[in-house]
Amino acid sequence: MTSVQDRSVVILGSGPAGLTAALYAARANLIPLVLKGVDAGGQLMLTTEVENFPGFPDAILGPELMERMEKQAARFEAELLHQEATRVDLSSRPFGVWSGDEEWRAKTLIIATGAKAKMLGLESERRLLGHGVSTCATCDGFFFRGQELLVVGGGDSALEEALFLTRFATKVTLVHRRGQLRASKIMQDRALAHPKIEVLWDSVVEEVLGDGQVAGARITNVKTSETADVAAGGVFVAIGHTPNTALFEGQLEMQNGYIAVEEPSTRTSVEGVFASGDVVDFVYRQAITAAGMGCQAAIDAERFLEAQGH
Ligand code: NAP
Protein backbone atom coordinates (compact mmCIF):
# COMPACT_ATOMS: atom_id res chain seq x y z
CA MET A 1 0.00 0.00 0.00
CA THR A 2 1.41 3.42 -0.99
CA SER A 3 1.21 6.52 1.18
CA VAL A 4 -1.33 9.26 0.48
CA GLN A 5 0.26 12.51 -0.69
CA ASP A 6 -1.19 15.96 -0.06
CA ARG A 7 -1.02 18.45 -2.91
CA SER A 8 -2.25 22.03 -3.31
CA VAL A 9 -2.98 21.62 -7.01
CA VAL A 10 -3.51 18.42 -8.99
CA ILE A 11 -3.94 18.83 -12.75
CA LEU A 12 -5.47 16.09 -14.86
CA GLY A 13 -4.36 16.13 -18.49
CA SER A 14 -1.34 17.39 -20.40
CA GLY A 15 -2.64 19.09 -23.53
CA PRO A 16 -2.31 22.87 -23.97
CA ALA A 17 -4.82 23.50 -21.12
CA GLY A 18 -3.17 21.16 -18.58
CA LEU A 19 0.38 22.24 -19.33
CA THR A 20 -0.44 25.95 -19.30
CA ALA A 21 -2.23 25.46 -15.97
CA ALA A 22 0.89 23.61 -14.75
CA LEU A 23 3.16 26.45 -15.89
CA TYR A 24 1.12 29.11 -14.12
CA ALA A 25 0.56 27.06 -10.95
CA ALA A 26 4.26 26.19 -10.83
CA ARG A 27 5.27 29.82 -11.23
CA ALA A 28 2.91 30.64 -8.34
CA ASN A 29 4.99 28.23 -6.20
CA LEU A 30 2.14 25.73 -5.86
CA ILE A 31 4.28 22.78 -7.05
CA PRO A 32 1.43 21.26 -9.06
CA LEU A 33 1.21 17.57 -9.76
CA VAL A 34 0.21 16.76 -13.34
CA LEU A 35 -1.21 13.35 -14.15
CA LYS A 36 -0.51 13.43 -17.85
CA GLY A 37 -2.98 10.70 -18.85
CA VAL A 38 -2.58 7.88 -21.37
CA ASP A 39 -2.82 10.22 -24.35
CA ALA A 40 -0.18 12.58 -22.98
CA GLY A 41 0.10 15.82 -24.91
CA GLY A 42 -3.51 15.64 -26.07
CA GLN A 43 -4.82 16.07 -29.58
CA LEU A 44 -1.90 18.16 -30.86
CA MET A 45 0.17 14.98 -30.66
CA LEU A 46 -1.90 13.81 -33.64
CA THR A 47 -1.33 16.96 -35.67
CA THR A 48 1.39 17.93 -38.10
CA GLU A 49 1.84 21.61 -38.79
CA VAL A 50 0.25 24.07 -36.39
CA GLU A 51 0.03 27.36 -38.22
CA ASN A 52 -2.25 29.26 -35.89
CA PHE A 53 -0.44 29.21 -32.55
CA PRO A 54 0.92 32.74 -32.07
CA GLY A 55 4.69 33.02 -31.84
CA PHE A 56 5.47 30.46 -34.53
CA PRO A 57 5.38 32.39 -37.82
CA ASP A 58 6.81 29.43 -39.74
CA ALA A 59 4.45 26.90 -38.06
CA ILE A 60 5.47 24.22 -35.55
CA LEU A 61 4.73 20.51 -35.42
CA GLY A 62 2.04 19.63 -32.86
CA PRO A 63 4.20 17.15 -30.88
CA GLU A 64 7.09 19.62 -30.78
CA LEU A 65 4.82 22.35 -29.43
CA MET A 66 3.64 20.00 -26.67
CA GLU A 67 7.19 18.98 -25.83
CA ARG A 68 8.11 22.63 -25.46
CA MET A 69 5.10 23.32 -23.24
CA GLU A 70 6.01 20.38 -21.02
CA LYS A 71 9.64 21.50 -20.71
CA GLN A 72 8.51 24.98 -19.79
CA ALA A 73 6.20 23.69 -17.02
CA ALA A 74 8.89 21.31 -15.72
CA ARG A 75 11.43 24.15 -15.59
CA PHE A 76 9.32 25.78 -12.85
CA GLU A 77 9.02 22.53 -10.87
CA ALA A 78 5.69 21.20 -11.94
CA GLU A 79 5.79 17.47 -11.24
CA LEU A 80 4.63 15.51 -14.28
CA LEU A 81 3.73 11.83 -14.06
CA HIS A 82 2.94 9.70 -17.09
CA GLN A 83 -0.09 8.20 -15.36
CA GLU A 84 -3.82 8.65 -15.67
CA ALA A 85 -6.33 9.30 -12.93
CA THR A 86 -8.53 6.23 -12.59
CA ARG A 87 -10.90 7.64 -9.96
CA VAL A 88 -11.70 10.93 -8.29
CA ASP A 89 -13.82 11.72 -5.26
CA LEU A 90 -15.08 15.29 -5.30
CA SER A 91 -17.57 14.88 -2.44
CA SER A 92 -15.37 16.65 0.12
CA ARG A 93 -12.14 18.64 0.28
CA PRO A 94 -9.33 17.75 -0.01
CA PHE A 95 -10.44 15.80 -3.07
CA GLY A 96 -9.36 12.21 -3.57
CA VAL A 97 -7.44 11.41 -6.75
CA TRP A 98 -6.34 7.89 -7.56
CA SER A 99 -4.16 6.36 -10.24
CA GLY A 100 -4.48 2.63 -9.66
CA ASP A 101 -3.59 2.19 -5.97
CA GLU A 102 -1.70 5.49 -5.73
CA GLU A 103 -3.65 8.18 -3.97
CA TRP A 104 -3.38 11.96 -3.65
CA ARG A 105 -5.38 14.44 -1.59
CA ALA A 106 -5.83 17.65 -3.57
CA LYS A 107 -6.86 21.03 -2.13
CA THR A 108 -7.73 22.08 -5.67
CA LEU A 109 -8.22 20.10 -8.84
CA ILE A 110 -7.81 21.38 -12.39
CA ILE A 111 -9.48 19.19 -14.99
CA ALA A 112 -7.95 19.41 -18.46
CA THR A 113 -8.71 15.94 -19.77
CA GLY A 114 -9.62 17.10 -23.29
CA ALA A 115 -11.70 15.23 -25.82
CA LYS A 116 -11.30 12.24 -28.12
CA ALA A 117 -12.29 11.30 -31.64
CA LYS A 118 -15.91 10.26 -32.33
CA MET A 119 -16.57 7.06 -34.25
CA LEU A 120 -19.40 6.15 -36.61
CA GLY A 121 -20.47 3.27 -34.36
CA LEU A 122 -20.35 0.52 -36.97
CA GLU A 123 -19.31 -3.01 -36.04
CA SER A 124 -17.09 -3.17 -39.15
CA GLU A 125 -15.43 0.10 -38.16
CA ARG A 126 -14.54 -1.30 -34.72
CA ARG A 127 -13.33 -4.60 -36.20
CA LEU A 128 -11.08 -2.90 -38.76
CA LEU A 129 -9.75 -0.14 -36.48
CA GLY A 130 -5.99 -0.26 -36.90
CA HIS A 131 -6.42 -2.39 -40.02
CA GLY A 132 -7.23 0.41 -42.39
CA VAL A 133 -9.71 2.31 -40.23
CA SER A 134 -8.02 5.27 -38.56
CA THR A 135 -8.87 8.49 -36.75
CA CYS A 136 -5.45 9.99 -37.29
CA ALA A 137 -4.04 10.80 -40.70
CA THR A 138 -0.87 12.17 -39.17
CA CYS A 139 -0.18 8.89 -37.40
CA ASP A 140 -1.21 6.50 -40.15
CA GLY A 141 -1.12 8.35 -43.48
CA PHE A 142 2.35 7.07 -44.28
CA PHE A 143 1.07 3.49 -44.36
CA PHE A 144 -1.30 4.28 -47.23
CA ARG A 145 1.17 5.36 -49.89
CA GLY A 146 -0.16 5.02 -53.42
CA GLN A 147 -3.68 4.04 -52.30
CA GLU A 148 -7.16 5.51 -52.68
CA LEU A 149 -8.59 6.67 -49.36
CA LEU A 150 -11.90 7.74 -47.82
CA VAL A 151 -12.30 10.46 -45.23
CA VAL A 152 -15.63 10.73 -43.40
CA GLY A 153 -16.83 14.14 -42.17
CA GLY A 154 -17.33 17.69 -43.36
CA GLY A 155 -15.68 19.81 -40.66
CA ASP A 156 -12.20 21.32 -40.40
CA SER A 157 -10.80 18.05 -39.05
CA ALA A 158 -12.04 16.04 -42.03
CA LEU A 159 -10.66 18.55 -44.51
CA GLU A 160 -7.36 18.80 -42.69
CA GLU A 161 -7.08 14.99 -42.75
CA ALA A 162 -8.05 14.85 -46.42
CA LEU A 163 -5.49 17.50 -47.40
CA PHE A 164 -2.77 15.79 -45.38
CA LEU A 165 -3.56 12.41 -46.93
CA THR A 166 -3.09 13.79 -50.44
CA ARG A 167 0.66 13.60 -49.68
CA PHE A 168 0.41 9.81 -49.75
CA ALA A 169 -2.78 8.81 -51.52
CA THR A 170 -3.49 8.74 -55.23
CA LYS A 171 -7.02 9.96 -54.50
CA VAL A 172 -8.93 11.06 -51.40
CA THR A 173 -12.72 10.89 -51.36
CA LEU A 174 -14.48 12.91 -48.71
CA VAL A 175 -17.77 11.35 -47.61
CA HIS A 176 -20.09 13.94 -46.14
CA ARG A 177 -23.64 13.40 -44.96
CA ARG A 178 -24.94 16.77 -46.18
CA GLY A 179 -24.65 18.91 -49.29
CA GLN A 180 -22.69 21.62 -47.50
CA LEU A 181 -19.42 21.48 -45.58
CA ARG A 182 -19.17 22.65 -41.99
CA ALA A 183 -15.47 23.52 -42.30
CA SER A 184 -14.08 27.06 -42.42
CA LYS A 185 -14.02 28.83 -45.78
CA ILE A 186 -10.25 28.70 -46.16
CA MET A 187 -10.19 24.92 -45.58
CA GLN A 188 -13.09 24.41 -47.98
CA ASP A 189 -11.32 26.44 -50.66
CA ARG A 190 -8.12 24.46 -50.23
CA ALA A 191 -9.79 21.06 -50.22
CA LEU A 192 -12.25 21.66 -53.02
CA ALA A 193 -9.49 23.05 -55.24
CA HIS A 194 -7.22 20.08 -54.64
CA PRO A 195 -6.92 17.86 -57.72
CA LYS A 196 -6.71 14.67 -55.62
CA ILE A 197 -9.80 15.38 -53.48
CA GLU A 198 -13.30 14.45 -54.53
CA VAL A 199 -16.46 14.82 -52.44
CA LEU A 200 -19.35 12.40 -52.16
CA TRP A 201 -22.13 14.73 -51.01
CA ASP A 202 -25.19 13.63 -49.02
CA SER A 203 -23.52 10.32 -48.36
CA VAL A 204 -23.06 8.05 -45.37
CA VAL A 205 -20.88 5.02 -44.74
CA GLU A 206 -23.13 2.02 -44.06
CA GLU A 207 -20.32 -0.45 -43.62
CA VAL A 208 -16.56 -0.61 -43.84
CA LEU A 209 -15.68 -3.44 -46.19
CA GLY A 210 -12.79 -5.84 -45.83
CA ASP A 211 -11.77 -9.07 -44.23
CA GLY A 212 -8.85 -8.41 -41.91
CA GLN A 213 -7.90 -5.26 -43.86
CA VAL A 214 -10.01 -2.43 -45.25
CA ALA A 215 -10.96 -2.88 -48.89
CA GLY A 216 -13.50 -0.06 -49.17
CA ALA A 217 -16.85 1.08 -47.85
CA ARG A 218 -20.53 0.65 -48.63
CA ILE A 219 -21.85 4.16 -49.12
CA THR A 220 -25.45 5.29 -49.43
CA ASN A 221 -26.63 8.55 -50.90
CA VAL A 222 -29.23 9.75 -48.40
CA LYS A 223 -31.13 11.71 -51.06
CA THR A 224 -31.40 9.03 -53.74
CA SER A 225 -31.04 5.99 -51.41
CA GLU A 226 -28.58 4.55 -53.93
CA THR A 227 -25.89 2.38 -52.42
CA ALA A 228 -22.49 1.65 -53.91
CA ASP A 229 -19.33 -0.13 -52.80
CA VAL A 230 -16.34 2.19 -53.10
CA ALA A 231 -12.89 0.62 -53.11
CA ALA A 232 -10.33 2.15 -50.73
CA GLY A 233 -7.26 1.05 -48.81
CA GLY A 234 -8.17 3.13 -45.77
CA VAL A 235 -11.10 4.87 -44.09
CA PHE A 236 -10.30 7.91 -41.97
CA VAL A 237 -13.07 8.88 -39.56
CA ALA A 238 -12.98 12.61 -38.77
CA ILE A 239 -16.44 13.47 -37.44
CA GLY A 240 -15.64 15.39 -34.29
CA HIS A 241 -14.84 14.66 -30.68
CA THR A 242 -16.27 13.58 -27.34
CA PRO A 243 -15.11 15.24 -24.12
CA ASN A 244 -13.30 12.98 -21.62
CA THR A 245 -15.67 13.37 -18.69
CA ALA A 246 -16.32 9.76 -17.57
CA LEU A 247 -14.39 10.22 -14.29
CA PHE A 248 -16.59 13.11 -13.23
CA GLU A 249 -20.03 11.85 -14.14
CA GLY A 250 -22.49 12.35 -11.30
CA GLN A 251 -19.94 14.53 -9.49
CA LEU A 252 -19.93 17.68 -11.61
CA GLU A 253 -22.57 19.56 -13.56
CA MET A 254 -22.30 19.11 -17.32
CA GLN A 255 -23.53 21.10 -20.30
CA ASN A 256 -24.01 19.26 -23.63
CA GLY A 257 -21.84 16.50 -22.14
CA TYR A 258 -19.01 18.94 -21.45
CA ILE A 259 -18.05 20.12 -17.94
CA ALA A 260 -20.03 23.23 -17.07
CA VAL A 261 -18.10 26.23 -15.74
CA GLU A 262 -19.24 29.56 -14.32
CA GLU A 263 -18.09 31.75 -17.16
CA PRO A 264 -16.01 33.84 -17.40
CA SER A 265 -14.23 31.81 -14.68
CA THR A 266 -13.19 28.13 -14.83
CA ARG A 267 -15.10 27.29 -11.63
CA THR A 268 -17.14 24.11 -11.86
CA SER A 269 -20.18 23.17 -9.78
CA VAL A 270 -17.84 21.93 -7.00
CA GLU A 271 -15.88 24.56 -5.08
CA GLY A 272 -12.16 24.06 -5.57
CA VAL A 273 -12.54 22.14 -8.84
CA PHE A 274 -11.70 24.03 -12.02
CA ALA A 275 -11.93 22.90 -15.62
CA SER A 276 -10.34 24.12 -18.83
CA GLY A 277 -9.74 23.30 -22.47
CA ASP A 278 -11.63 20.89 -24.73
CA VAL A 279 -13.35 19.12 -21.83
CA VAL A 280 -15.27 22.40 -21.32
CA ASP A 281 -15.14 24.22 -24.61
CA PHE A 282 -17.44 23.04 -27.38
CA VAL A 283 -17.34 26.37 -29.17
CA TYR A 284 -13.76 27.37 -29.96
CA ARG A 285 -11.74 24.14 -29.43
CA GLN A 286 -8.40 25.64 -30.34
CA ALA A 287 -5.00 24.99 -28.82
CA ILE A 288 -4.65 28.68 -28.04
CA THR A 289 -8.06 28.95 -26.35
CA ALA A 290 -7.32 25.78 -24.35
CA ALA A 291 -3.99 27.24 -23.25
CA GLY A 292 -5.77 30.46 -22.28
CA MET A 293 -8.31 28.56 -20.19
CA GLY A 294 -5.51 26.56 -18.55
CA CYS A 295 -3.98 29.86 -17.46
CA GLN A 296 -7.35 31.02 -16.12
CA ALA A 297 -7.81 27.75 -14.19
CA ALA A 298 -4.42 28.07 -12.50
CA ILE A 299 -5.14 31.67 -11.50
CA ASP A 300 -8.61 30.66 -10.26
CA ALA A 301 -7.07 27.83 -8.20
CA GLU A 302 -4.38 30.13 -6.81
CA ARG A 303 -6.97 32.73 -5.75
CA PHE A 304 -9.19 30.05 -4.25
CA LEU A 305 -6.29 28.71 -2.17
CA GLU A 306 -5.40 32.22 -1.07
CA ALA A 307 -8.99 32.91 0.00
CA GLN A 308 -8.92 29.64 1.97
CA GLY A 309 -5.82 30.91 3.79
CA HIS A 310 -3.36 28.45 2.24
P1 NAP B 1 -17.06 19.38 -36.29
O2 NAP B 1 -16.82 20.79 -36.68
O3 NAP B 1 -18.05 19.07 -35.24
O4 NAP B 1 -17.44 18.60 -37.62
C5 NAP B 1 -17.81 17.25 -37.58
C6 NAP B 1 -18.21 16.84 -38.98
O7 NAP B 1 -18.49 15.44 -38.98
C8 NAP B 1 -19.46 17.56 -39.48
O9 NAP B 1 -19.33 17.87 -40.83
C10 NAP B 1 -20.56 16.54 -39.22
O11 NAP B 1 -21.58 16.60 -40.14
C12 NAP B 1 -19.83 15.22 -39.40
N13 NAP B 1 -20.41 14.17 -38.56
C14 NAP B 1 -20.62 14.17 -37.24
N15 NAP B 1 -21.13 13.00 -36.81
C16 NAP B 1 -21.25 12.23 -37.92
C17 NAP B 1 -21.71 10.93 -38.14
N18 NAP B 1 -22.15 10.16 -37.15
N19 NAP B 1 -21.70 10.46 -39.40
C20 NAP B 1 -21.25 11.23 -40.43
N21 NAP B 1 -20.78 12.47 -40.27
C22 NAP B 1 -20.79 12.98 -39.04
O23 NAP B 1 -15.72 18.65 -35.82
P24 NAP B 1 -14.22 18.90 -36.28
O25 NAP B 1 -14.09 18.95 -37.73
O26 NAP B 1 -13.46 17.88 -35.52
O27 NAP B 1 -13.88 20.33 -35.73
C28 NAP B 1 -14.09 20.63 -34.36
C29 NAP B 1 -13.64 22.05 -34.07
O30 NAP B 1 -12.21 22.14 -34.19
C31 NAP B 1 -14.20 23.07 -35.03
O32 NAP B 1 -14.47 24.25 -34.32
C33 NAP B 1 -13.10 23.30 -36.02
O34 NAP B 1 -13.13 24.57 -36.62
C35 NAP B 1 -11.86 23.12 -35.14
N36 NAP B 1 -10.71 22.63 -35.95
C37 NAP B 1 -9.91 23.57 -36.53
C38 NAP B 1 -8.84 23.17 -37.31
C39 NAP B 1 -7.97 24.22 -37.89
O40 NAP B 1 -8.24 25.39 -37.72
N41 NAP B 1 -6.92 23.88 -38.61
C42 NAP B 1 -8.60 21.83 -37.54
C43 NAP B 1 -9.45 20.88 -36.97
C44 NAP B 1 -10.52 21.31 -36.18
P45 NAP B 1 -22.60 17.86 -40.15
O46 NAP B 1 -21.83 18.97 -40.79
O47 NAP B 1 -23.73 17.38 -40.98
O48 NAP B 1 -22.96 18.10 -38.74
Average pLDDT over residues 155-173: 96
Q: Which atom of ligand 1 is nearest to the CA of 159?
A: 25
Q: What sign for the dihedral angle of Cα 243, 250, 261, 101?
A: negative
How many C-beta atoms lie closer than 10 Å to residue 69's C-beta? Answer: 24
What pTM did the predictor assign?
0.76
Contact 193, 163 (CB under 8 A): no
Ranges for all domains in the chain classified under CATH 3.50.50.60: 5-116+241-307, 119-237
Give the pLDDT band (50/70/90) at residue 283: confident
Give DSSP secondary structure letters for 155-178. Answer: SHHHHHHHHHHTTT-SEEEEE-SS
153 C-beta closer than 6 A to ligand 1:
yes
Kind plus residue range of the DSSP H or E element containing 137? helix 137-140
Closest residue by Cα to residue 35 from 241, 244, 242? 244
* Cα distance between residue 197 and residue 193, in whole Å: 8
Identify the residue whose C-alpha is closest to ligand 1 atom 2.
155
Which one of 140, 278, 281, 300 is the catalytic residue? 140
3 state DSSP class of 139: helix
Give the pLDDT confidence score for residue 260 in this predicted structure. 98
Q: Does domain 119-237 have CATH number 3.90.470.20?
A: no
Residue 139 pLDDT > 80, yes or no?
no
Q: What is the pLDDT of residues 48-103, one digit of tens each?
A: 678 889 999 998 988 999 999 999 999 999 999 999 999 999 999 999 999 999 99
**Domain at 5-116+241-307, CATH from 3.40.50.300, 3.40.50.1820, 1.10.1040.10, 3.50.50.60:** 3.50.50.60
Average pLDDT over residues 160-179: 97
175 bridge partner residues: 152, 200
Give the pLDDT confidence score for residue 45 in this predicted structure. 82
Give the pLDDT confidence score for residue 226 in this predicted structure. 98
Q: How many CA atoms lie within 13 A of 234 on its CB side?
A: 31
33 bridge partner residues: 10, 79
